[in-house]
């Protein structure tokens, strides 16, 4: 399962896109090729897709996914940013 979180801004002209990927514990990015592999290399994703992509395996999360989302939702100056969550479905 892959959980995508995309952060939403109220800025009329945002200058970037931030994406958080939460991967299954057994996920191994070294097997990826092409554009898929670029998503798991932060600098390459920024250059190629124009997005800041952050990823983590579930076992590395302190707490649970909800705790992680709450942390990432906080803004440096206070307040919270909106997040869109997209879940992979096996149906």
Q: Is residue 91 part of a domain?
A: no
pLDDT value at residue 15 = 66
| Residue 89 falls inside a structural domain | no
Q: CB under 8 Å to 44, separation ≥6 — which residues?
A: 37, 38
d(CA 68, CA 65): 5
Indicate if the pLDDT at residue 56 is higher than 60: yes
Please report whether residue 58 resides in a domain.
yes
How far is C-alpha 78 from the chain's CA centre?
Answer: 21
What mean pLDDT comes out for the span 39-51? 91
How many CB atoms neighbour CB 68 within 10 A?
A: 19
Give the global pTM: 0.71
Number of structural domains, the chain? Answer: 1
Question: Alpha-carbon distance 80 to 27, whole Å?
Answer: 30
Evaluate whether residue 1 is within a structural domain: no
Would you call 9 helix, strand, or coil by DSSP? coil
Q: Which domain holds residue 62?
A: 6-10+16-79
């Amino acid at each position: 399962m892959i959980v995508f979180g995309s952060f939403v801004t109220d800025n009329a002209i945002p200058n970037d896109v931030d994406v958080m990927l939460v991967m299954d514990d057994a996920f191994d990015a070294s097997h990826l090729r092409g554009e898929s592999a670029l998503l798991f290399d932060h600098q390459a994703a920024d250059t190629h897709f124009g997005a800041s992509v952050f990823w983590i395996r579930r076992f590395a999360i302190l707490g649970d996914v909800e705790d992680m989302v709450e942390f990432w939702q906080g803004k440096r100056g206070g307040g919270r940013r909106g997040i869109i969550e997209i879940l992979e479905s096996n149906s």
